[in-house]
């Protein structure tokens, strides 16, 4: 009887291990708390830890203070854009390539400081040579919103390059956001925070 109970215990531990290894916990990409107020964290198309580029880019990616242009009362980041230029983009550069197959989505909190903004944001992933973006975007407002974007192959489209999504998602070197606007001429600061990889598409109240 003792050996039977021991076998059951070993089996239970083994099952817990298998189930635990199958679940990928949420992972923070950047919450900006490690930077100083006013620190430039993205200044060109090849800078680190953040990059910014595109014709609409009007300023660097800069860490905010803990008051003023912030989200959730904590340090955030802001990026300046000028429209109607075609598009602007920002990317977080990983220290080493990541396999994102175990993640279902990426999420971030974001808002514009312009109450008349018509800007649209999409998720983007890249291996440095090929970039895929979300097939569906979300409209910014001057109120904080928490967007969760699927990174499932069915929800991504090729933006540039020629590699398959299966090749790119196993070797991601950058993840970020693409911005576009089709209406009006205006400038804005886009403020964002709590950029995360997620194991599901669900956004709970505690995330706000």
- HSE-up of 84 (CA within 13 Å, CB side)? 4
Residue with tokens 């944001």: 121
pLDDT at 26 over 50: yes
Q: How far apart are CA 78 and CA 62, in angstroms?
A: 5
19 or 169, which is more confident? 169
Tell me how many domains the chain contains: 1
pLDDT at 16 over 60: no
**Per-residue pLDDT, 85:** 87
pLDDT digits (tens, 9 = 90+) for 119-128: 999 999 999 9
**Please, which residues have CB within 8 angstroms of residue 204's CB and are 6 or more apart in sequence?**
none
Q: How far apart are CA 111 and CA 80, in angstroms?
A: 12
Is 15 a member of any domain? Answer: no
Is 4 a member of any domain? Answer: no
Is 10 a member of any domain? Answer: no
DSSP state letters, 45-90 = TT-SSEEEESTTEEEEEEE--SSSS-BTTB--EEEEEEESSSEEEE
Is 144 a member of any domain? Answer: yes
**Please, which residues have CB within 8 angstroms of residue 82's CB and are 6 or more apart in sequence?**
56, 57, 58, 186, 187
Coil, helix or strand at residue 115: coil
pLDDT digits (tens, 9 = 90+) for 99-125: 999 999 999 999 999 999 999 999 999
Is 11 a member of any domain? Answer: no
Which of 187, 185, 161 has its CA nearest to residue 174? Answer: 161
Say which CATH number the domain at 117 has: 2.60.120.260
Considering Cα of 151, then 106, then 203, then 16, what sign does the dihedral take? Answer: positive
Is 5 a member of any domain? Answer: no
Is 22 a member of any domain? Answer: no
Is 127 a member of any domain? Answer: yes
Domain ranges, residue 104 = 27-207
């Amino acid at each position: 009887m003792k050996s039977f109970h021991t076998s059951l215990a070993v089996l239970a531990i083994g099952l817990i291990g298998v189930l635990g290894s199958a679940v990928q916990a949420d992972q923070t990409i950047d919450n900006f708390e490690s930077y100083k107020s006013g620190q430039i964290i993205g200044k060109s198309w090849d800078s680190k830890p953040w990059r910014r580029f595109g014709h609409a880019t009007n300023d660097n990616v800069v860490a905010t203070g803990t008051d003023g242009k912030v989200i959730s009362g904590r340090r955030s980041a802001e990026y300046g854009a000028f429209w109607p230029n075609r598009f602007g983009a920002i990317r977080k550069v990983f220290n080493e390539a990541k396999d994102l197959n175990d993640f279902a989505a990426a999420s971030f909190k974001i808002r514009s400081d312009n109450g008349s903004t018509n800007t649209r944001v999409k998720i983007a992933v890249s291996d440095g040579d090929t970039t895929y973006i979300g097939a569906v975007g979300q409209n910014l407002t001057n109120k904080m919103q928490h967007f969760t974007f699927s990174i499932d192959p069915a929800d991504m489209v090729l933006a540039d390059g020629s590699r398959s999504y299966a090749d790119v998602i196993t070797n991601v070197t950058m993840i970020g956001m693409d911005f576009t606007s089709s209406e009006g001429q205006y400038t804005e600061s886009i403020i964002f925070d709590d950029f995360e990889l997620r194991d599901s598409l669900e956004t709970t109240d505690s995330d706000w």
